[in-house]
Amino acid sequence: MDEREAGIMRMWLEFAPDIAVLTVVTSGQRTEVRGQPGIGSDWQGSRLDRLIDAIPKRINISDLFAGVVVHVRPDCAQVIRDALAYEDALTQRLFASTIADRA
């Protein structure tokens, strides 16, 4: 059984001096969510902040902040997928609104 059949999700958080990137791999798709480098200590309400907040308590986010690849069970993964879908819809609405305002 491969990763897609098992419904396993993997996540990891990487830091650079000017950016933090949460990578989520599920069902063969890779999604990167970028945010400020102070994530975890300086909440600014960004897309990355909201996604970190959506991670279920059963997942050890300390491992994420330590640079460990976290394997998420299918019962917890749906919450994260829903948060990603919500953020995508929000971004599309904001982008569509901005384009409509310029027309």
Degrees, nearest 5: CA angle 100-89-93? 15
Between helix 47-54 and helix 74-102 the angle, nearest 10°, is 160
Domain that holds residue 41: 3-102
What total number of domains does the chain contain? 1
DSSP state of 34: E
pTM for the whole thing?
0.77
pLDDT in tens, 48-83: 988 999 999 999 999 999 999 999 988 889 899 999
> What is the spatial distance between Cα 37 and Cα 14, in angstroms, rounded to a whole number?
9
Residue 4 pLDDT exceeds 50:
no
